[in-house]
């Protein structure tokens, strides 16, 4: 079983729609979860982090965490063409060694 | 502008060369990371330094040698690399366990 699983996509949504990106992880002890956006040829950029079960909203972005199901998701409302990028799910491994493992990433395409 | 600075932006080296990648941060972060990223793949962890001590080495070949001279600087010394080592090398820093990573812009390395 992979440590972090994401659908590589591409996920295509029309402009203005909600994009839903999903991630499952294997380390049941993970406590910290990060979402990064990466444009082609650029470095990853942090867009959200979440530590507690439930929802966390920041502007057009909502992160959702369910530790019992080992599932974390990212919703992007009112999707814009500029949101077209690869979204990387990154839980921090338990064990106290600050190891952050990335999923393969979901490529999002927002169609104007 | 990124708060983690990596130099050089691009590097071309032969298999017999010795070169170094440099990373600097002034955010007071105590953990620093090296990741390697190949095209269409997620970042892959190489090394983690915590409080200037090496805490994680992900079984990286000895032709890659990390160094953390102080809490703000991180180097990656390269020697006798192979063409398959060509990749984007990313440096990141964080406040520590549970905190998100902040990435530099990366060094695009080509080994000829």
Residue A1 has pLDDT above 80, yes or no: no
**pLDDT at position A13, please?**
98
- The pLDDT score that the predictor gives to residue A98 is 83
Q: Residue B101 in 3-state DSSP?
A: coil
Model pLDDT for residues B40-61, shown as the tens digit of each residue: 999 999 999 999 999 999 999 9
Query: What is the pLDDT confidence band of residue A43, given thresholds at 50, 70 and 90?
Result: very high
Q: Are the CB atoms for B74 and B66 separated by under 8 Å?
A: yes
CB of B64 less than 8 A from some CB of A: no
Q: Report chain B residues whose CB lies below 8 A from the CB of A96.
A: 97
Under an 8 A CB cutoff, do A88 and B33 touch? no
Q: State residue A93's pLDDT score.
A: 87
Tokens encoding A112: 């104007």
CB A72 within 8 Å of CB A65: yes
Please say if the pLDDT value at position A52 is more than 90: yes
CB atoms under 10 Å from CB of B27, counted, come to: 12
**Calpha distance A16→B37 (Å, rounded):** 32
Q: For residue A13, what are its two tokens?
A: 């949504």
Interchain proximity A100–B98, CB inside 8 Å: no
Contact A29/A81 with Cβ under 8 angstroms? no
- Contact check, Cβ <8 Å, A98/B31: yes
d(CA A100, CA B99): 10
Q: What is the pLDDT of residue B2?
A: 59
Backbone φ and ψ of A81, nearest 5°: -55, -30
pLDDT tens-digit series, residues B58-99: 999 999 999 999 999 999 999 999 999 999 999 999 998 889
Which residues, in sequence order, are bridge partners of residue A16? Answer: none
Closest CA–CA distance from residue A49 to any residue of chain B (Å): 7
Note the pLDDT of residue B85.
Answer: 97
B1: pLDDT strictly greater than 60: no
**A32, A49, A88: residue with CB nearest B42:** A88
Q: In whole angstroms, what is the distance from residue A87 CA to residue A106 CA?
A: 5
Residue B63's pLDDT is what?
A: 97
A-chain residue closest to B57, CA distance: A99
DSSP assignment string, chain A: --SEE-----EEEETTSPEEEEEEES-TT---EEEEEE-TTS--EEEEEE-SSEEEEETTEEEEEETTTTEEEEEESS--GGG-EEEEEEEBPSSSS--B-----EEEEEE-
> What mean pLDDT value characterizes chain A?
94
| Partner B, chain A 35-94, Cβ-Cβ below 8 Å | 42-46, 49, 51, 88, 90, 92
Share of chain A above pLDDT 70, in %: 98
CA distances to A59, B38, B83 from A72, in Å: 18, 25, 37
Confidence of residue A71 (pLDDT cuts 50, 70, 90): very high
Q: Which residues have C-beta within 8 Å of that of residue B59, sequence separation ≥ 6?
A: none
Token pair recorded at residue B45: 């962890």
Per-residue HEC secondary structure of B22-44 comes to EEEECCCCCEEEEEEECCCCCCE
**A94 pLDDT band (50/70/90 cuts)?**
confident
On the question of pLDDT at A48 being above 70, the answer is yes
pLDDT tops 80 at residue A2: no
Contacts of residue A46 in chain B, CB cutoff 8 Å?
100-102
pLDDT beyond 80 at A97? no
Residue B102 pLDDT exceeds 60: yes
Which of A3, A47, A100 would best serve as a mutation to test chain B binding (most B beta carbons within 10 A)? A100
At residue A66, the pLDDT reads 96
């Amino acid at each position: 079983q992979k440590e972090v699983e994401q659908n590589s996509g591409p996920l295509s949504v029309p402009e203005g729609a909600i994009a839903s990106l999903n991630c499952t992880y294997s380390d049941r002890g993970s406590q910290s979860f990060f979402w990064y956006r990466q444009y082609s040829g650029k470095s990853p950029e942090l867009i959200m982090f979440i530590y507690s079960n439930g929802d966390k909203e920041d502007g057009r972005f909502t992160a959702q965490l369910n530790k019992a199901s080992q599932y974390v998701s990212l919703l992007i409302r009112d999707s814009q063409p500029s949101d077209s990028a690869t979204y990387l799910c990154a839980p921090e491994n338990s064990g106290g060694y600050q190891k952050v493992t990335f999923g393969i990433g979901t490529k999002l395409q927002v169609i104007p | 502008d990124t708060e983690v600075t990596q130099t050089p932006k691009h590097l071309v080296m032969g298999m017999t060369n010795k070169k170094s990648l440099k990373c600097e941060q002034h955010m007071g972060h105590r953990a620093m990371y090296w990741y390697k990223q190949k095209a269409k793949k997620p970042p892959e962890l190489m090394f983690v330094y915590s409080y200037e001590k090496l805490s994680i080495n992900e079984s990286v070949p000895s032709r890659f040698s990390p160094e953390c001279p102080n809490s703000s600087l991180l180097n990656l010394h390269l020697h006798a690399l192979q063409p398959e080592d060509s990749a984007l090398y990313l440096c990141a820093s964080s406040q520590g366990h549970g905190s998100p990573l902040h990435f530099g812009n990366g060094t695009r390395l080509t080994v000829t």
